[in-house]
Amino acid sequence: MSEEQSALEIWTEKLNELQRQEAIASDAAVKFQLKKQIQECQQKIQELQQQEGKILLNTKQSDYYIERPPIEQRCYQELLTDGALIRIRASQKMGKSMLMNRMLKFVEEDYNYQIAYLDLDEPEFNIVTDLSRLLKYFCQEVSKELGVPNQTNEHWEQASATLETSENMKCRNYFEQNVLPHIKTALVLGLDNVDRLFSEDCQLVAADFFGMMRSWHNRGKRKKLWKKFKVILVYSTEAIPNLGVYESPFNVGLENTLSGFSEEQILSLARHYDCSVSKESAKVLLTQLGGHPYLIHLILESLSINKAQSLNELLAQASTEEGIYNKHFQNYWKHLQEKPLLAKSLYETVKSDSPILIPPKILYELERLGLIKKVGDKVCLKCELYRTYFLNHLKILENIWRGNIDGIN
């Protein structure tokens, strides 16, 4: 049993005992203290179970994955084709990484494919803005993932000595000489958060890197060695870089856009959590939370942990600092404080009763965060919960973009 599971059991037992004491307590002061301890206990349990909302395949939470047919089956079938390229797009915490993990697990266990996973949110800024550094990082990490000798530095030095100046060529040759020969069946490379390269700071790097991905995909259709190279690109916004039609990997392969849960999928997830949720309640969740998988997971998990809570009580507190989404909102405030122009456009979006136009750069940032959704060429808030919450905090939004904010409490 893992340390996290042991801690979870301890805190769950503690919660049950506190709730028992609260039920029999008659003194108002004692009840107040017990309620406070119960809230702290529930928060700790949520932190242990959620771990920032990423539900990994090797944990108990994998039982709660809800399929969105026919996406999964289409992806599995596509991965079996030569030189496959699959794109998965959705805003943050919609289940993109979770789907990719399942795909990687599927081909590794059922077809003995070799897999490698890279998260482009991990490397430092000076790496993702420098093509040579990014490609060397790319080769090093893939080598590490596959357990093959890392000869990146030696390869780059030798290539430079022979006047092989193209960085993309160095990277391709590295794969042909040091990676693909070690692959017996096929290699599936999962690239998470590739939209890190969509920002203005990375435009030049993005053109070369994504052009290389497109080139490798094309090679997989005609070169024997490259037929076994398959890639999954995961990103959060459709505001992709302006790439040539023949240099872009975003107009080839299989595209999948993940939407929110349907009413039936909410009910299915509720059964997994052993929660009693009626069809009417599922409709309310759909309206208030927009079918957002992460938000729905959190509220159903909270119901499963504390059976004494009602759905109406949780929803009534959802947009407050005492609600189960407080930590989720605090993460948004960090981003908004770091980039006040985001707060300005969000302020305007919240105040408007209808979708509005916002600058493309801001659209990219807010869509990636999952705060907005596109309606044609305009945008609106992602769900009613967000509208209610930010309407209650309009003054803070205004203070941030006007530069009058000291901090968020």
CA atoms of 307 and 130, how far apart (whole Å): 52
* Residue with tokens 């994955």, as numbered in its chain: 65
| pTM, full prediction | 0.81
CA atoms of 334 and 351, how far apart (whole Å): 21
Instruction: Report the largest interatomic distance among the alpha carbons of the chain, rounded to a whole angstrom.
Output: 84
CA atoms of 95 and 292, how far apart (whole Å): 9
Q: Cα dihedral angle (2, 44, 10, 34), rounded to 10 degrees?
A: 180
- Residue 94 φ/ψ, nearest 5 degrees: -100, -5
Show the DSSP H helices in 121-234 as ranges. 125-128, 131-146, 152-161, 167-174, 203-219
DSSP string, 260-275: PPPHHHHHHHHHHTT-
Among the four given CATH numbers 3.90.1150.10, 3.40.50.300, 3.30.2130.10, 3.40.50.1970, the one describing domain 64-257: 3.40.50.300
CA atoms of 254 and 73, how far apart (whole Å): 12
CA distances, 199 to each of 2, 39, 133, 336, 359 (Å): 39, 40, 17, 16, 13
CA distances, 157 to each of 5, 132, 134, 177, 404 (Å): 47, 12, 16, 15, 51
Q: Where are the domains of the chain?
A: 1-50, 64-257, 327-401
Cis upstream peptide for 70 (omega within 30°): yes
CA atoms of 63 and 43, how far apart (whole Å): 22
- Give Cβ neighbours of residue 67 (< 8 Å, ≥ 6 apart): none
* Residue with tokens 């942990």, as numbered in its chain: 305
CA atoms of 160 and 317, how far apart (whole Å): 61
Instruction: Kindly give the confidence (pLDDT) of every residue in the chain, 409 residues in length, as a single tens digit, with 9 standing for 90 and above.
Output: 343 344 666 777 777 777 777 777 777 677 667 777 777 777 677 666 554 333 333 334 434 778 898 999 999 999 999 999 999 999 989 999 999 999 999 999 999 999 999 999 999 999 999 999 999 999 999 999 999 999 999 999 998 877 767 999 999 999 999 999 999 999 999 999 999 999 889 999 999 999 999 999 999 999 999 999 999 999 998 888 889 999 999 999 999 999 999 999 999 999 988 888 999 999 999 999 999 999 999 999 999 988 888 999 999 999 999 999 999 999 999 999 999 999 999 999 999 999 999 998 899 899 989 999 999 999 999 999 999 999 999 999 999 989 865 444 3
Are the C-beta atoms of residues 11 and 45 closer than 8 Å to each other?
Answer: yes
Are the C-beta atoms of residues 405 and 396 closer than 8 Å to each other?
Answer: yes
